[in-house]
């Protein structure tokens, strides 16, 4: 049994790679255990502007920039019938320091991050399945199974769970809790021949709002677009159709999507992901820190996934390093990490929870920048981790208006369908 690691990280995605890079920058000996072979297909392709400072701090921005990913300057939100839309322009938000983001093919992007972690000195074992973990007073012991079927035990002072939606340690400790009413399913694929925005708006993600569901349309290259449908799991089950049939019917009945996909050809299609929007009762415990989707996952409507994963992983790895320095299994900084991570996720969640309501849409699709409210919204949806008072009170004011709109018509009524 190998016992000389400072930290073992389960998962080699953006969260796991970020944790590995951060711990290596602190001089820690790190082992990353990844069940798949990279590069591999993954969803969650639209990033946010506040990914950029993390890239810079990890020293990986030059590699990402040279990969030629699509630039993303804004996000557009459309009504399904094409009658109305609004655009968030990241370069015009007075509280947003970073003016643009990128759209990425995750196979390439995730591989860049994991290889950079390797180059910084992290040991990476791919095609290695974690089968169990045990936390004792002086170590964490992990049992793994390699591709050839051989099994081994490895141990370290700390475990960073970056296992994504597998939620490895939390599931085994029965810590997962779903957000009420937000069990979703996503059906998605990559397509060529999709008509997307050009000029200044080239690279924008399009979110198309239907009555009880929504589409994403993410341009990955000049002739490759990720298109996905997100709907309630119960609604999907009631349709009693195959996923691709549900997707195709939704395209055909959504003018804003149908018109853009008239000449579309599938590159890959029929992918399915379910069980959206959950949290875990605990993000930290003795010798264990959960990061990325293993800390919780929320509806991807505002493209928060990669940014939240990398931000939580960087912060989580830093508190692990501090705990190692202090020779402690649990620290106040670890508990503060849990609190701040929940708070950051909560800023997105208040938008997600309201996005599915008619009164929110009536204000969101008819924005007014009076008091620079749109600038404050822009700042949150760009992924800014900390709010100052100037943005805090404007968001409170905006959601106060949303509350009033439910009871009294402040904005012009609109139909959603």
Per-residue pLDDT at 89 exceeds 70: yes
Mean pLDDT across 79-107: 92
Mean pLDDT, rounded, for 30-56: 96
pLDDT above 70 for 233 = yes
3-state helix, strand, coil in the chain (%, to 5): 40, 30, 30
- Higher-scoring residue by pLDDT: 299, 126: 126
Tokens linked to 213: 């569901």
Q: Are strands 151-161 and 140-146 parallel, antiparallel or unpaired?
A: antiparallel
Work out the pLDDT band at 331, boundaries 50, 70, 90: very high
- Kindly list the distances between the CA atom of residue 48 and the CA atoms of 20, 75, 121, 183, 310, in Å, as whole numbers in the listed order: 21, 10, 28, 24, 11
92-101, 112-121, 196-205, 317-326: which range is least confident on average?
92-101
> Looking at the predicted structure, is the pLDDT value of residue 400 above 90?
yes
What's the count of helices (H) and strands (E) in the chain, helices before strands?
13, 20
Q: What is the mean pLDDT of residues 233-246?
A: 95
Over pLDDT 70: what percentage of the chain?
98
Quick: pLDDT tens for 184-230.
999 999 999 999 999 999 999 999 999 889 999 999 999 999 999 99
Which fold is adopted by the domain 2-69+104-178+278-347?
FAD/NAD(P)-binding domain (3.50.50)
Torsion of CA 168, 174, 176, 181, to 10 degrees: 140
d(CA 15, CA 414): 40
Residue 118: burial class (beta carbons within 10 Å; 0-12, 13-18, 19+): middle
Domain segments of the chain as ranges? 2-69+104-178+278-347, 184-274, 358-407
Mean pLDDT, to the nearest integer, of 70-74? 96
Residue 409 is predicted with a pLDDT of: 82
pLDDT of residue 275: 66
Please provide the average confidence, as pLDDT, over all residues in the chain. Answer: 93
130-182 confidence digits (pLDDT tens): 999 999 999 999 999 999 999 999 999 999 999 998 999 999 999 998 888 78
Complete DSSP assignment for 40-64: ---S--B--GGGHHHHHHHT-HHHH
CA distance 390 to 372: 10
Of the pLDDT bands very low, low, confident and very high (cuts 50, 70, 90), residue 3 is: low
CA dist list (Å): 104 to 49, 101, 318: 13, 10, 26
Residue 416 has pLDDT above 80, yes or no: no
Judge whether residue 417 has pLDDT over 70. no
pTM of the entire predicted model: 0.94
Domain 2-69+104-178+278-347 shares a fold with domain 184-274: no
Assigned fold of 184-274: D-Amino Acid Oxidase; Chain A, domain 2 (3.30.9)
Q: Is the pLDDT of residue 1 over 60?
A: no
CA distance 99 to 224: 24
């Amino acid at each position: 049994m190998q016992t000389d690691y400072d930290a073992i990280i389960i998962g080699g995605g953006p969260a796991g790679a970020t944790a590995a890079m951060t711990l290596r920058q602190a001089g820690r000996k790190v082992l990353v255990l990844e069940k798949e072979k990279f590069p591999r297909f993954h969803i969650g392709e639209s990033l946010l502007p506040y990914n950029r400072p993390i890239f810079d701090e990890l020293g990986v921005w030059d590699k990402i920039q040279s990969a030629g990913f699509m630039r993303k300057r804004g996000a557009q939100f459309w009504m399904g019938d094409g009658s109305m839309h609004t655009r968030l322009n990241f370069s015009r938000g007075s509280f947003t320091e970073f003016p643009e983001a990128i759209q990425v093919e995750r196979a390439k992007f995730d591989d860049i991050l994991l290889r950079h972690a390797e180059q910084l000195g992290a040991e990476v074992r791919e095609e290695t399945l974690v089968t169990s973990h045990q936390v004792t007073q002086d170590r964490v012991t992990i049992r793994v199974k390699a591709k050839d079927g051989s099994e081994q035990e490895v141990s370290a002072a700390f475990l960073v769970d970056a296992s994504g939606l597998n939620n490895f340690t939390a599931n085994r400790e029965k810590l997962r809790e779903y957000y009420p009413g937000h069990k979703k399913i996503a059906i998605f694929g990559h397509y060529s021949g999709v008509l997307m925005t050009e000029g200044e708006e080239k690279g924008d993600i399009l979110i198309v709002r239907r009555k009880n569901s929504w589409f994403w349309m993410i341009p990955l290259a000049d002739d490759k677009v990720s298109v996905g449908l997100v709907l309630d799991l119960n609604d999907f089950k009631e349709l009693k159709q195959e996923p691709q049939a549900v997707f195709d019917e939704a395209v055909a009945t959504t003018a804003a999507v149908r018109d853009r996909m008239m000449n579309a050809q599938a590159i890959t299609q029929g992918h399915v992901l379910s069980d959206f929007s959950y949290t875990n009762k605990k993000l930290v415990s003795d010798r264990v820190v959960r990061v990325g989707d293993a800390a919780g996952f929320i509806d991807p409507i505002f493209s928060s996934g990669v940014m939240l994963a990398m931000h939580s992983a960087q912060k989580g790895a830093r508190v692990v390093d501090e705990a190692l320095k202090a020779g402690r299994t649990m620290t106040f900084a670890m508990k503060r990490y849990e609190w701040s991570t929940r708070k950051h996720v909560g800023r997105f969640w208040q938008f997600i929870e309201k996005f599915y309501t008619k009164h929110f849409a009536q204000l969101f699709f008819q924005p007014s920048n009076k008091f620079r409210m749109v600038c404050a919204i822009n700042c949150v949806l760009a992924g800014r981790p900390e709010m100052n008072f100037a943005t805090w009170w404007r968001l409170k004011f905006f959601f106060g208006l949303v509350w009033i709109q439910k009871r009294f018509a402040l904005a012009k009524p609109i139909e959603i369908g």
